[in-house]
Amino acid sequence: MTPEFAIQIVRQAIMTAFWISAPLLAVGFVAGIVMSLVQILTSIQDNAFSAIPRLLAFLAALMISLPWMLQKIVVYTVATLGDLSRYAR
């Protein structure tokens, strides 16, 4: 296995992890910004008021994107384990 091939494997793993986590991170970011704006506008500084809607948004995003995430993981795993003979060289 050449160093370039090892770098390619690691790059594919990192990019797959990035694409799988990106939708959830984006939803968490947007929900956090929205809840911060609501707290600023209403002057409510309760932690539960902020955390519970963010968790619900995160859970909804997870439930919606879970089939897509699993499909991405399966494609990556099949591609990686399907080429085991290339890793032995």
pLDDT digits (tens, 9 = 90+) for 3-42: 888 898 899 999 999 999 999 999 999 999 999 899 889 8
Cβ neighbour number for residue 72 with a 10 Å cutoff = 15
- The pTM score is 0.76
Q: What is the dihedral of CA 13, 16, 21, 23, to 10 degrees?
A: 170
Domain boundaries, the chain: 32-79
Give Rg (Cα) of the chain.
Answer: 19
Q: Which amino acid is at 70?
A: L
Q: How confident is the model over 48-74, as pLDDT tens digits?
A: 788 888 899 999 999 999 999 999 999
